Structure 1
Amino acid sequence: MNTLPTSQTELVEGTAVDLDEVMATMHLAFDPAFGEAWTRSQCAGIMGLGGVWLLLARRDGQAAGFALSRGVLDEAELLLLAVQPDHRRFGIGRMLLDAVANEARSRGATRLHLEMRDGNPAAILYERAGFHEIGRRKRYYRGHDGSSFDAITLACRL
C-alpha cells in the first residue's frame, strides 16, 4: 500500500447534491464490462430513502471515492463502494469501509452486509475486514458482451 498522510484524505457526509461527484467516481471506478455500476436515477432514488447515508472520500480536496449504505433495524448494507483508479492503494477503500461500519454501529446495526461480483479485486479488502461469504446468486451480473458473473453476498458482525 502507498503511504499517505491522513491529513490529505478526508471523509465527509454526502447528500443528493453530491450526485455528480458520485456518478463521476462510479464511471471511473466500475469497469462497464461487468454491469455493476448504478444509474443516476437508481442512486438518486435510494438516496431519498430513510436510513441511507453517503460518505465521500476526498484526497487533497479532489473526489477520490464514496460509499453508499443503508440501515434497517439491526442490520446495515453497503450498497456501493468505489475508489477512483488514481486513488487506489492508499487505504481509501478501507477508510470508507471502516467509516461505514462505525456509522452502522452508531445506528444500532450489529451486522453489515454487502454483495459483490465474483472475481472483484476488492474481495481481499472485505476479507481483511472480517467479511465472509453467506450466499451466492448464480449469473446475477450481466456484462456488456453477454457474459455473466455470480454475485457473492458477504457479511460481518459489527
Structure 2
Amino acid sequence: MATAPHHVMLRRGGYDDLDAVMVVMERAFDAHYGEAWTRSQCAGILPMLGVSLVLAEEGATLIGFSLHRTISDEAELMLLAVDPTAQGRGIGRMLLDQFADACGEIGARRLHLEVRDGNPATHFYETAGFHVAGRRRRYYCGDGGDRIDALTYVKNI
C-alpha cells in the first residue's frame, strides 16, 4: 500500500488481524473513557460497504491502524490508534494521510471524525486541517460515571 518512515509499511487488514488490532487499541486508548471498540464491534463493521481497515506494521509487528468508511462523497474516520511505543514518529499522520488520499480517490469530498473533548488528539487533527463542526454533549462516559462531550471534526478535500 505505502511505505512510511522507519520501515513502516501500510497495508489493508481484515478479520485475521483483529487480535493484533485489539492489543494496539487497548494500549493506545485510555480505558477510563470507554473509547475503544470491542472485537465484536470491529468484526461486525468490516463486511459493511465502504469500510477499510489499514494497518501500520514495522516488520511483523502491528504498531498502528485506522478504520474508516466511505459512503458517496463523505468519509468517516471511525478509529485511529498508534501503539504508545511508536507514537511521535509520524505513524498517525501517515495513517491519516492515507485515509484522506484513499477516500479522495474514490470520490469523497468531506472527511468526518469525532474525538473526546480534552483528548490530546484534538491538536493532531487540527494541525492536519480538520476543524470543529459540532459537539455531542455528554457523549462519552468515564468509568466513574462522568460524562464528557465529543467534538465532531470535518475537513474538505
TM-score under structure 2 length normalisation: 0.95
Measured against aligned partners, the alpha-carbon deviations of 1:43-77 in whole angstroms (never above 9, x if no partner) come to: 11111101000100112431101000000000000
Aligned to 1:152: 151
Q: Which runs of 5+ in 1 are unaligned?
A: none
Give percent identity, aligned residues only: 53
Between Structure 1 and Structure 2, how many residues are aligned? 154
**Greater than 4 Å deviation, 4+ residue runs:** none
Q: What code does the residue aligned with 2:69 have? A: R
Q: Deviations over 1:107-132 (max 9, x none)?
A: 11001000000011111111111000
SS of structure 2 residue aligned to 1:149:
strand
TM-score when normalising by structure 1: 0.94
Deviation string 1:15-41 (CA, Å, 9 cap, x unpaired) is 122111111111111111011011111
Aligned position for 1:130: 129
Alignment of 1:1-150 (within 5 A): 6-150=5-149
CA distance in 1, matches of 2:120, 2:63: 18
The Cα of 1:7 is off from its aligned counterpart by 4.7
Cα distance per residue 1:97-154 (max 9 Å; x no partner): 0000011001110010000000111111111110000110111000111111100000
Unaligned regions of 5+ residues in structure 2, if any?
none
Equivalent position SS for 1:41: helix
Q: Secondary structure at the match of 2:22?
A: helix
Paired AA for residue 105 in structure 1? G
Secondary structure of 1:24's counterpart equals helix
Aligned-partner residue type, residue 30 of structure 1: F
3-state DSSP of counterpart to 2:99: helix
